[in-house]
């Protein structure tokens, strides 16, 4: 994957875990990410709000910049100590009338992610968040240039991040087929294909797309749509996510439909997921009721490793 040498194709997907206090990373996160790190493994951290680690938002004072960066450093160090490759997902959810300021927020966030020690940043352009709201024709009702060209905002954010830290350190997550928070599109394949082709101009490291079968949160449906056109169009590393297990993940790679497969709930419940996949070992079941609690241990760092279950 670009300059990175991976030992396997199992990616830790970015997951909202809500274990930060006041947007600042906490010590239990060191263990959580360290548990899920293998040498040569690729991890994507939960979204760090752009407004939380930039200095341009009046709602989030500039003190967050230092606290966020310093808070992430020991977590990143723990992942690197075990030979992992770690990207920070960058997200923005504040409303604003000044789009250039939001674009600049992403630029500053990308820079701060590198300062915190991350290997790169993943722009969150999926699941109904701000960038996705601009992309989808069933939600955007702007009549200015950002409504007439729905992909403009997303590509301006990518351009700003690439100019700040380099395309080899930038990825983006997209979900053209999803309808999270009523952010659907009437022609998702055309949207996804246009974005895949446009991203090539910026030579970013990877494109991380959510499978069409994941229409909404936790819902997996049968459908005929496919990411194959986007996979063929994008020239960098392609990551697929969305309800994968071991067998269909292997099949997707064998059929050249993706380079890497991102796992969320399975990686959450199985900190040694790559090893379990390698051995075709039984998997722990995840507990949905603990996904978004504040407990620093339960449902977070207490899922057992394989050797403790045999």
Q: What's the pLDDT tens digit per position in 175-188?
A: 999 988 788 899 99
Give the integer Cα–Cα distance in Å for 262 and 9: 8
pLDDT of residue 107: 94
H-helix or E-strand spanning residue 233: helix 228-233
Per the prediction, the chain carries an average pLDDT of 88
The answer to whether residue 310 scores a pLDDT higher than 70 is no
pLDDT of residue 22: 64
pLDDT of residue 55: 41
Q: What is the mean pLDDT of residues 43-49?
A: 79
DSSP 289: G
Q: What is the mean pLDDT of residues 57-68?
A: 53
pLDDT of residue 146: 80
Which conformational region is residue 242 in: left (phi greater than 0), alpha (psi within -120 to 50 degrees), or beta? left
Higher pLDDT, 95 or 228: 228
Helices (H), 143-186: 145-148, 152-165
pLDDT of residue 139: 86
DSSP 66: H
Q: Which residues contact 286 (CB under 8 A, 6 or more apart)?
A: 265, 266, 268, 269
Of 8-17, 210-219, 279-288, the range with the lowest mean pLDDT is 210-219
The answer to whether residue 63 scores a pLDDT higher than 50 is no
pLDDT band at 25 (very low <50, low <70, confident <90, very high): confident
pLDDT of residue 41: 97
The answer to whether residue 292 scores a pLDDT higher than 90 is no
Give the integer Cα–Cα distance in Å for 8 and 261: 10
Q: Is residue 180 among the annotated active site residues?
A: no
Dihedral sign for Cα atoms in the order 63, 65, 66, 69: positive
pLDDT of residue 65: 66
* Token code pair at residue 112: 């701060």
Look at the block and give the residue holding tokens 């998702």: 188
Judge contact between 189 and 225, C-beta under 8 A.
yes
Q: How far is CA 251 from the centre of its chain?
A: 22
Judge contact between 37 and 78, C-beta under 8 A.
yes
Among the options 32, 129, 244, 263, which is catalytic?
A: 129
pLDDT of residue 168: 98
């Amino acid at each position: 994957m670009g300059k990175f040498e991976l030992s396997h194709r199992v990616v830790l997907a970015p997951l909202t875990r809500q274990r930060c206090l006041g947007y600042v990373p906490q010590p239990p996160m060191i263990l959580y990410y360290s548990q899920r790190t293998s040498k040569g493994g690729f991890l994507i951290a939960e979204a760090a709000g752009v407004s939380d680690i930039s200095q341009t938002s009046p709602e989030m004072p500039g003190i967050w910049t230092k606290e966020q960066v310093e808070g992430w450093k020991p977590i990143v160090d723990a992942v690197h100590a075990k030979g992992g490759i770690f990207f920070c997902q960058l997200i923005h959810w504040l409303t604003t009338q000044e789009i250039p300021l939001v674009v600049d927020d992403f630029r500053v966030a990308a820079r701060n992610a590198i300062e915190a020690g991350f290997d790169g940043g993943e722009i969150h352009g999926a699941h109904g968040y701000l960038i996705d709201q601009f992309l989808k024709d069933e939600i955007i009702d702007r009549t200015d240039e950002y409504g007439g060209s729905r992909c403009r905002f997303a590509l301006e954010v990518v351009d700003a991040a690439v100019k700040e830290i380099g395309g080899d350190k930038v990825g983006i997550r997209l979900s053209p087929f999803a309808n999270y928070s009523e952010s659907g599109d009437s022609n998702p394949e055309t949207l996804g294909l246009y974005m895949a082709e446009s991203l090539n101009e910026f030579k970013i490291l990877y494109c991380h797309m959510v499978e069409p079968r994941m229409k909404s949160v936790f819902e997996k449906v049968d459908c005929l749509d496919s990411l194959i056109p986007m996979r063929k169009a994008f020239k960098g590393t392609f990551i697929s996510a969305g309800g994968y297990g071991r067998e269909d993940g292997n099949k997707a790679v064998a059929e050249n439909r993706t380079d890497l497969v991102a796992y969320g709930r399975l990686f959450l419940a199985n900190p040694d997921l790559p090893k379990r996949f390698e051995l075709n070992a039984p998997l722990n079941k995840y507990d949905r009721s603990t996904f978004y609690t504040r407990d620093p241990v339960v449902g977070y760092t207490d899922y057992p490793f394989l050797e403790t279950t045999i």
